Amino acid sequence: MCGIVGYVGFRDATDLLIEGLRRLEYRGYDSAGIAIHQGDRIECRKRAGRVQELEKLLESDPISGSVGIGHTRWATHGETTDVNSHPHVGGNGEVVIVHNGVIENYSTLRTKLQALGFVFRSQTDTEVVAHLLAHHVEEQLKLSDDAEGTEIYVRALEITISKLKGTYGIVAMFRDLPDVIIAARAGSPLVVGVGKGEYYVASDASPLVGYTDEVIYLQDHEMVVLTTTSIDLRHRDSGQLSPNIHTLDQVSTDTDLGDFEHYMLKEIFEQPQTIANAMRGRFNEDEATAVFGGLNLDPQQLRRIDRIVLTACGTSWHAGLVGEYLLEEFARVPTEVEYASELRYRNPPLEDNTMVFAITQSGETADTLAALRECKRKGHPTLAICNVVGSTIAREADGGIYLHAGPEVGVASTKAFTSQVTVLTLLALFFGRMRHLSYPAGKRMISRLKEMPEIIERTLKCNEVVEEISSRYSQFNNFLYLGRLYNFPVALEGALKLKEISYIHAEGYPAAEMKHGPIALVDEVTPSVFVIPRGGIYPKVMSNLEEVKARKGPVIAIACEGDTKVADLVDDVIFVPDVEDYLQPLVTSIPLQLLSYYIAVNRGCNVDRPRNLAKSVTVE
């Protein structure tokens, strides 16, 4: 979950590394640091807190050079202190590394290194790697007097990582190898940027935008040696490799804030466009169905699928739950949603004709990747619904569907959620037309889906009302979110958003389950947010709402435009356009995103960088 950036070339590395860390800060913001080669030594500067704290340190204690590495941390081992910040020094300064991942056997290695005389200054697992690498550099120097210099250090790193258990993305610099950085990955993403007389390495492509449009995505167990004039890529098992260079199509304006105060608000307002992007080119009007170019399965294989498993974490899991309802209603395919963190350790009975979809914004979520790999190992078709081109899950899945939502910088996912739901709706149409869904029903779905970008534009007009309502609820410390059928996952997602960025305890439930226990929580200081648009079970949800009102619980309702019955009963109402049941999650989720945003702002929370969280969860 940490962010790594490295550079070797002719530019001043300090400014480049700082800019890269700013772009990577969504991956972790507990601390930040950089290391720059200074000829006969490597100088480090690091500081607990946001990247801006590191910038202040560099103003008073600057360093410069053309080779360097940087890191922004999400803490796993050790508190958020200056000394636990990366980069970490090995030996007596001959090695400096940055690391993303978790070293599971660090305690055993630490004990062995201490017995050899190494002194530890931090509580991190990364310092173990730094000292272990320094130890093997020393060994290789003694054994390899005639070897070419760089190969000594490559061999030392190979031996080091062979002794690590866990996951890592490592970038290393060496005091006596002034124009070289070496990177290696196993389970934690790394991408190399290819320039002219310069190379970059980073946890993802965002720091490279504007500097190069040619990238190489490292695979597990690959290592790359970068100098100003060369790139040497090799695999642990197969040796030397020819780099597979991809074109990066992202532009720097994709991550500009524009006129918005926070990325989260910007991304909420981008949803009309991102939903349109998710649908673009994916309708076949003549056949009244959806089309996907990347499933990589022929129609006969797809028709044999008799069970679908959707696996994901967090917000993506909530999107998957909407997908379960969609696929079972329109395609009549038994579907279940599994937490990836649980699926990877279970041994569920999956029949041969089971298809597994991994749903992920980043394409790097460690648990989702592990679940996908486990299902793939057992021979099941594995597909991905993903937003990041070139990500590990996108590359390892048998096929998949890109969201085309653009970079999502805010830690709390918004536009990715609605894009995932849109794609899952298209999948339900696709499988439905392949099985039981009639031609007129397919045409109707396409027509309704095409209307959604304009409907989401209308929905966003509730912004001012939500902002005003949120001011009255910002000081409450417990919320209940309630919905039924398609709006139950929306209730879960609304509660998660509030927890993530406002630090308010919130729970999502099916509305009818209230009377089976949670209604005991209802009182005058526990607001309930009811998602109650018109639909087949509207009277049932209304009954649940009245049960809460009878116990003096404050109620905020998300209701269809013109619903005076709800408006007369509740304390506050947010109106949304009336759409068919299966499209309601795209509409009803919008005011819940805005509600969490404005409550967080009113409470003085850091909306885009909530405490203890990171955007891309690349550790278990």
**Structural contact between residues 215 and 193, judged by C-beta atoms closer than 8 angstroms:** yes
Backbone angles phi, psi at 153, to 5 degrees: -75, -35
Residue from 266, 497, 499, 615 carrying the catalytic annotation: 615
Q: What is the pLDDT of residues 301-333, one digit of tens each?
A: 888 888 999 999 999 999 999 999 999 999 999
**What is the DSSP secondary-structure string of 210-249?**
TT-SEEEEPPTTEEEEE-SS-EEEEETTTEEE----EE--
User: Catalytic annotation on 615?
Assistant: yes
Question: Which positions ≥6 away from 429 have C-beta within 8 Å?
Answer: 289, 290, 330, 437, 442, 445, 446, 449
pLDDT value of position 27 = 80
User: Partners of 88 in the beta sheet?
Assistant: 97
> What is the bridge-based pairing of β-strands 67-73 and 555-560?
unpaired
E strand or H helix that includes residue 14: helix 13-24
Say if residues 91 and 153 touch (Cβ distance below 8 Å).
no
CB 486 within 8 A of CB 588: no
Q: Which two tokens stand for residue 79?
A: 């508190």
Q: At what angle do helices 584-602 and 415-434 cross, to 10 degrees?
A: 170
Distance CA 573, CA 593 (A): 15
Angle (deg, nearest 10), helices 439-459 and 415-434: 170
**Dihedral of the alpha carbons of 462, 467, 469, 473, in degrees to the nearest 10:** 140
* C-alpha–C-alpha distance, residues 384 and 184, integer Å: 25
Amino acid 17: pLDDT: 95
Using 50 as the pLDDT threshold, list the residues of the chain that sit under it: 253
Q: What order of strands is seen across the sheet that includes strand 239-241?
A: 88-90, 95-100, 168-174, 177-186, 222-226, 231-235, 239-241
- pLDDT tens per residue, range 443-487: 999 999 999 999 999 999 999 999 999 999 999 999 999 999 999
Span 263-602: which CATH code? 3.40.50.10490
Instruction: Work out the mean pLDDT of the chain and round it to a whole number.
Output: 90
Let me know if the fold of 3-251 is the same as that of 263-602. no
Fold of domain 3-251: Glutamine Phosphoribosylpyrophosphate, subunit 1, domain 1 (3.60.20)
Instruction: Supply the pLDDT for residue 559.
Output: 95
Rounded to the nearest 10 degrees, the angle between the axes of helix 584-602 and helix 463-473 is 50
Instruction: Give residue 332's pLDDT.
Output: 94
**Residue burial 171-200, b: 16+ Cβ < 10 Å; e: rest:** bbbbbebbebbbbbbbbbbbbbbbbeebbb
pTM: 0.83
**Domain range list for the chain:** 3-251, 263-602
Residues 481 and 526: their CA atoms lie apart, in Å, by 11
What CA–CA distance (Å, rounded) separates 253 from 251?
6
What distance in Å separates the CA atoms of residue 471 and residue 313, rounded to the nearest whole number?
31
Residue with tokens 């996912």: 413
Residue with token string 């560099």: 58
The per-residue pLDDT for 75 is 74
Among 312, 354, 349, residue whose Cα is nearest residue 333: 354
**Residue 29: predicted pLDDT:** 79
- Annotated catalytic residue, options 2, 44, 313, 605: 2
Pairing state of beta strands 67-73 and 31-37?
A: antiparallel
Comparing CA positions, the residue from 216, 213, 151 lying closest to residue 185 is: 216
| Phi then psi dihedrals of residue 233, to 5 deg | -105, 135
pLDDT single digits (tens) 7-21 = 999 999 999 999 999
Question: Is the CB of residue 95 less than 8 Å from the CB of residue 175?
Answer: yes
Q: Which segments of 435-462 does DSSP mark as H helices, in order? A: 439-459
Residue from 126, 214, 223, 228 nearest 177 by CA: 228
Report the distance separating Cα 303 and Cα 538, nearest Å.
Answer: 35
The pLDDT value recorded for residue 251 is: 54
pLDDT at 616: 60
CA-to-CA dists, residue 425 to 63, 387, 569, angstroms = 52, 16, 33
What is the model's pLDDT at position 253?
Answer: 47
Name the residue among 18, 23, 53 with its Cα closest to residue 34: 18
